[in-house]
Chain A
Amino acid sequence: QKEVEQDPGPLSVPEGAIVSLNCTYSNSAFQYFMWYRQYSRKGPELLMYTYSSGNKEDGRFTAQVDKSSKYISLFIRDSQPSDSATYLCAMCGTASKLTFGTGTRLQVTL
């Protein structure tokens, strides 16, 4: 079993939809959780960073962490075609070695 599981998609939604992206993990030592967005031929861009259970909101993006269930989510409201990208969850413990999910490809259609 992988330490981090993420549905690879692809996930296709119409413009304006609410998107839910999820990762589950097995390592209790993970304390810090990140979501990266990666466009084709670009590097991963940090979208959200959190270290506690609960919700964190930034514009149209909400990151949710449930440490008791070892489950994290990223919600995108009012999705736009420009949100079409691969979304990577990543997490780490006290050291900075990141463990990534496999990434979910998202396509937002007009």
Chain B
Amino acid sequence: DTEVTQTPKHLVMGMTNKKSLKCEQHMGHRAMYWYKQKAKKPPELMFVYSYEKLSINESVPSRFSPECPNSSLLNLHLHALQPEDSALYLCASSQSPRGEQPQHFGDGTRLSIL
């Protein structure tokens, strides 16, 4: 079991649905990340939150909306997704947003868009 917990583990949704992915960590980490991973590819960074503020948005379409309600929680709100958005969505955290602090990943949410 990882120390970064993601729910749900699986999600199937239609293109008109609205859903949210959740991520929680209790390691006191102050940086949290969302990644997207397609099959047989490495993770691709989507967003970085540093001390609960959005610090990096890797030009992600607006149908993905991140939220950091507090230092332990990270959400990713989904709306009007496309079939190509089907992927494994990974959350990660690190002690700080500086490179010397390694990132720890959750097991992801496997998302399928019908």
Contacts and interface: CB of A to CB of B under 8 A. Distances in A.
Real complex partners, A and B? yes
Given A43-B105, A44-B90, A44-B105, A93 B42 contact: no
28 contacts: A31-B99, A31-B100, A32-B100, A42-B108, A43-B2, A43-B6, A43-B90, A43-B106, A44-B90, A45-B2, A45-B105, A46-B105, A49-B102, A88-B42, A93-B99, A94-B98, A95-B97, A96-B31, A96-B33, A96-B48, A96-B97, A96-B98, A96-B99, A96-B101, A97-B45, A101-B42, A102-B41, A103-B40
Contacts of A51: 100
Interface string A44-86: 1110010100000000000000000000000000000000000
Nearest to B100: A32
B94 interface: yes
Interface of B: 2, 4, 6, 31, 33, 40-43, 45, 48, 56, 90, 94, 96-108, 110
Task: Give the interface SS of chain A, mostly helix, strand, loop or mixed.
Answer: loop
Interface of A: 31-32, 34, 36, 41-46, 49, 51, 88, 92-98, 100-103
Given A41-B110, A43-B4, A46-B103, 8 more contacts: A42-B108, A43-B90, A43-B108, A46-B105, A92-B99, A95-B99, A98-B103, A100-B43
